[in-house]
Amino acid sequence: MDKLIVLGTGNGGALKCYNTCFALKRDNEYFLVDGGGGNGILANLKKANIDVLKVHNIFISHNHTDHILGILWIMRSIGLRIARTKDYEGNLNIYASSETIDAILTIAKLLSPKVVREILGDRIVFNIVQDKEEKEILGCKTTFIDILARKDKQFGFKIEISPNKYMTFLGDEPFDKRLESIVKDSEWLLHEAFCLDGDKTNYKPHEKGHCTVKEASIIASSLNPKNLILWHTEDNDLENRKELYTKEAKEYYNGNVYVPNDLEVINLWDIVMTIKELNKEFIKLQDKYGDKSLDAICNDGCERNPDIAFVFMNPTGRNIASSKEWNGVKSPWLGTKNIWDLFYNLNLLDSNIYHKIKSMKPLNWTIEFANDLYKDITSHKYYITNLAKCTQTDARELPDTVYKEYLDLFFKELEIVNPKIIILFGNQISSIVLNEKISVSLCRKKEFTREINKRKYKFYSVYYPVGNGRFNIDKTIEDLNWIINNNFK
């Protein structure tokens, strides 16, 4: 998941902000959670630039009016697109308890247009969730949680927003201690907070089945999330709500506190160690394993959920960025020519950029052109890296022991970048990463799966396309075209 878009932050009676609901974004798709209490959801979706054509999954926590009624408007909007304009692809999947689905179906059958009623259960699919049931939503493992609500049946969920990092949504009632083992140590905890503790006499949150900011923050402190979002609040002083709620929360909880306003966007990627931070660790190894007169060359390209990660061996001094006088990006293959034949023949490189590379001498490369090159690579959704980042003066092979020193950091790199498939160039790198003896000639177009840090990755081994392996570039292109066509087309 990339972002959390806040569509509403108020409680059921809020008039100055919309009822609490939100969307999780991954690539160009959205997972909508609750819908608020009316057609204001459509207005807020529009303000947030969320096209309903990109919404195929909705979760409804429970059947209270401030959570369920907005979903009817979304069903109507999508249903009309399905029936009339016919531009909505696939099905709309709605996940909720049996009680909530019964409620929304009853209302929908009474109030929805006929063309929408006719596709209920067909193109608009209702999925009854069970406690601890797992589903994959937007490619992320999602575990539904019966939150043991005091009032009506209510579900939350725990979703893996990046490898081994979870967000837990607990609906709009206080956390029940019986859920501690499921919720503890999440990266993000999403919890209701009806009002400030000093205002509880006025708002009576406990009578309504809610808690105060202080109470929610004490709960968070016991569960140890890195980030806490507080919402489902009163709306008496929205101008100062963020400041006042944050101040009270920080008295009892030491993590990051978010008290969002409607339409605020929270970048979930900030929770993960960035590639820039990881590269600092790679760079430390240059003096140990590389030439001390050269800089390390790490990686570049699409750093968030690329289609492909291309993994080479290690950089050499032919890369102009390895010079300590180069002040631009320290990216793979800058100032070289032959490797770009590969990407151009795979339709992964802009023609103008490619021809400029072929016509330029290394000394003519500029920082601006290097930036343009990797901007184009990013737009094509791939990522280039080396297993070892230590730059050598020439292209001689490193011993296995050196590559293995980089493995743990490389696995962390995969966790951060999260590519759909990984291409390993050559026998040596393939054998080390896959932890088995690999001969490319014997496993062309073969898919390998390896579990790393509890996450499975898909690998392919191909011929090394440059240097001593340049005579195999046609086979490399053939195999990569097959791999790309079978995974993405």
CB 179 within 8 A of CB 148: yes
Highest mean pLDDT among 303-312, 341-350, 467-476: 341-350
Identify the three-state secondary structure at position 82.
helix
pLDDT value at position 305?
A: 81
- Residue 427 CB contacts under 8 Å (≥ 6 apart), including other chains: 438, 439, 440, 461
CATH dotted code for 275-488: 3.40.470.10
Identify the three-state secondary structure at position 189.
strand
218 has pLDDT over 60: yes
Least confident range from 266-270, 337-341, 378-382, 430-434: namely: 266-270
1 has pLDDT over 90: no
- What is d(CA 484, CA 308) in angstroms, rounded to the nearest whole number? 9
Q: What is the mean pLDDT of residues 271-281?
A: 78
Q: What is the percent of the chain where pLDDT is above 70?
A: 99
pLDDT value at position 271?
A: 47
- What is d(CA 245, CA 62) in angstroms, rounded to the nearest whole number? 26
Q: What is the percent of the chain where pLDDT is above 90?
A: 89
CA 167 to chain centre: 11
- What is d(CA 340, CA 336) in angstroms, rounded to the nearest whole number? 8
Domain range list for the chain: 3-271, 275-488
182 has pLDDT over 80: yes
Alpha helices in 27-64 (DSSP H): 40-47
Q: What is the mean pLDDT of residues 197-220?
A: 97
More confident residue, 17 or 489: 17
In the chain, the amino acid numbered 159 is I
pLDDT digits (tens, 9 = 90+) for 230-262: 999 999 999 999 999 999 999 999 888 999 999
pLDDT digits (tens, 9 = 90+) for 329-373: 999 999 999 999 999 999 999 999 999 999 999 999 999 999 999
pLDDT value at position 323?
A: 96
Q: State both tokens at 200.
A: 């509880």
pLDDT digits (tens, 9 = 90+) for 396-415: 889 999 999 999 999 989 98
Check for a shared fold between 3-271 and 275-488: no
Predicted TM-score (pTM) of this structure: 0.65
> In CATH, what is the architecture of 3-271?
4-Layer Sandwich (3.60)
pLDDT value at position 304?
A: 78
270 has pLDDT over 60: no
pLDDT digits (tens, 9 = 90+) for 32-47: 999 999 999 999 999 9
CB 7 within 8 A of CB 44: yes
Alpha helices in 48-151 (DSSP H): 65-80, 98-111, 114-117
Q: What is the mean pLDDT of residues 66-73?
A: 98
Strands 455-462 and 188-192: unpaired
- Residue 413 CB contacts under 8 Å (≥ 6 apart), including other chains: 275, 278, 299, 385
Identify the three-state secondary structure at position 324.
coil
Q: What is the mean pLDDT of residues 132-161?
A: 96
Q: Is the dihedral of CA 24, 38, 146, 212 positive or negative?
A: positive
pLDDT value at position 273?
A: 60
β partners of residue 190: 169, 229
Q: What angle do CA 74, 10, 246 make, to 5 degrees?
A: 135
195 has pLDDT over 90: yes
- What is d(CA 436, CA 346) in angstroms, rounded to the nearest whole number? 28
